[in-house]
Amino acid sequence: DQQVKQNSPSLSVQEGRISILNCDYTNSMFDYFLWYKKYPAEGPTFLISISSIKDKNEDGRFTVFLNKSAKHLSLHIVPSQPGDSAVYFCAARPSNTGNQFYFGTGTSLTVIP
């Protein structure tokens, strides 16, 4: 039962343009959402997060948008850089459990120089 879905397994973007990665979820109890970035042969590294009381959080080139009514969040990277090429995982935590995160299957982003 995949409660967090990333329907695009891959995305290619030209350097300097905007990258938009999407994530959908089904559990209305999720109250905290995160994006992780993962390079091959490494563990995921935390990128940015948003709580359900907000609809936008920005950190430098990275912005996460949350649409609770649509159960959808997105990560915007602008401008995209070749070093951003990695797999991006969306994760969510329900309010009624401990600190268990549910992860999506990931989107592989390639930024073309």
Partner 1 sequence: NAGVMQNPRHLVRRRGQEARLRCSPMKGHSHVYWYRQLPEEGLKFMVYLQKENIIDESGMPKERFSAEFPKEGPSILRIQQVVRGDSAAYFCASSPSLGGYNEQFFGPGTRLTVL
Nearest approach, Cβ of 56 to partner 1 (angstroms)? 16
Q: Which residues bind partner 1 (CB under 8 A)?
A: 4, 6, 32, 34, 36, 41-46, 49, 51, 89, 97-106
Nearest approach, Cβ of 100 to partner 1 (angstroms)? 5
Q: Residue 28 or 45: which CB sits closer to partner 1?
A: 45
Angle (nearest 5°) at CA 106 between 21 and 75: 25
Q: Residue 15 or 74: which CB sits closer to partner 1?
A: 74
Q: What secondary structure does DSSP assign to 15-34, as a single string?
A: TTS-EEEEEEE--TTEEEEE
Question: Do residues 43 and 36 make contact, with C-beta atoms less than 8 angstroms apart?
Answer: no
Nearest approach, Cβ of 59 to partner 1 (angstroms)? 12
Q: Residue 6 or 80: which CB sits closer to partner 1?
A: 6
Residue (of 109, 73, 110, 77) closest to 91 by Cα position = 73
Q: Label residue 84 left, alpha or beta by phi (over 0 means left) and psi (-120 to 50 means alpha).
A: alpha
Q: Residue 86 or 89: which CB sits closer to partner 1?
A: 89
Give the phi and the psi of residue 82 in degrees, each rounded to 5: -55, -35
